[in-house]
Structure 1
Amino acid sequence: MKILGAILLLCATTWIGFDVSSTLSNRPRQIRQLKNALQVMEAEIVYGQSPVSEVCFHLSSQLPEPLRAFFQRVYQRLTEHHGSLYEVWQEELDHFWPQTAMKQTEKEIMDQFGKTLGQHDFTQQQKHIYLAISHLDRELKNAEDEMNRYSKMAKSLGVLIGMFFVLLLI
């Protein structure tokens, strides 16, 4: 019975280590996807002169999860007239953010961007998109550094902590 408990404990701590490592790996990928979404948004708003709700609809069909769900819900709420653009953006951002691997700094960038979305002419809107992308570039670099530094360590620590507890219990 002790051996079964030791194996389960080792598996659990290893799984936790791999889960932490996965979160560290997902963050840069999701930031890149967010940057791509903003670039598509820029093209559709500035060059296609599409309304924000239509842009969100297009993004919801082009992006992978979890960003797809965010833009899909923003589109649905805007077409059903559930508040102003910023109110919808902020509420959906709050609802959506826990499903991502991204941190609070990226959320603040997107929240700040949401305040300017649809408030300016095309050239000013383009500048705000570039500003958000440049902030995301900085966070992407930080996320990649963090991933390179801590991803392998999280996996190893999960296994080593499990072994430590197994040795203590046996």
Structure 2
Amino acid sequence: MQWIGALLFIGTTTLAGFDISKRLNERPKHIRHMKNALQILEAEILYSQLPLPDAFATIAKQVPDPIGSFFKHVKDSLAYHNNNLSQVWNWYLEELMTSSAFDTNEAEILKQFGRTLGQHDFNQQQKHIHLTIKHLDRELDDARDNQYKYSKMAKSLGLLCGLFIVLLLI
């Protein structure tokens, strides 16, 4: 019975390590998807001159989840409830934070962007989009560094911590 408990404990810590590694590996991908979404948004605003809900619908079709569903939810909320864009943006951004691998830095960058979205003319809005993309570039570099440094280590530490604790308790 003691060995079954030990194996379950080692399995749990190993799975925790793999989960941490998965989040480290997904963070750069999610940041790239958000950058892609912002570039699509820029094109839709400047060249197609679509209203924001229509631009969000276009983004939702072209960008994979969870970023695509974020823009779909924002679009739906604006279309059906006619709410304040900044409030809707922040509401669904909190949901995005739980379903994605974004860090608090990306959340703050996107919150700041949400405050400016739809508040300025085309040129100013383009500048805000470029600024947000620059900030996301910086976070992408940081995410890649963390992925390279810590992804394999998280997997190994999950297993090794489980083994160490089991050996201490036996």
TM-score with structure 1 length normalisation? 0.96
Give percent identity, aligned residues only. Answer: 51
Alpha-carbon offset, residue 81 of structure 1? 3.1
**Map 1:38-77 → 2, pairs under 5 A:** 38-77=38-77
Q: Do the aligned residues in 2 keep the contact of 1:118 with 1:125 (CA within 8 Å)?
A: yes
**Map 1:1-170 → 2, pairs under 5 A:** 1-170=1-170
Tell me the distance in 1 between the aligned counterparts of 2:60 and 2:71.
5
Tell me the distance in 2 between the aligned counterparts of 1:47 and 1:74.
21
Indicate the SS of the match to 2:101.
Answer: coil
Instruction: Give the root-mean-square deviation of aligned CA atoms.
Output: 1.1
Q: Do the aligned residues in 2 keep the contact of 1:23 with 1:101 (CA within 8 Å)?
A: yes
Indicate the SS of the match to 2:81.
Answer: coil
Moved over 2 A (4+): none
Q: Do the aligned residues in 2 keep the contact of 1:106 with 1:136 (CA within 8 Å)?
A: yes
Q: Do the aligned residues in 2 keep the contact of 1:41 with 1:55 (CA within 8 Å)?
A: yes
Alpha-carbon offset, residue 95 of structure 1? 2.6
The one-character-per-residue Cα deviations of 1:16-66 (angstroms, maximum 9, x if unpaired) are 001011111111110010000000101111111111100111111122111
Give the total of aligned pairs.
170
Tell me the distance in 1 between the aligned counterparts of 2:168 and 2:2.
12
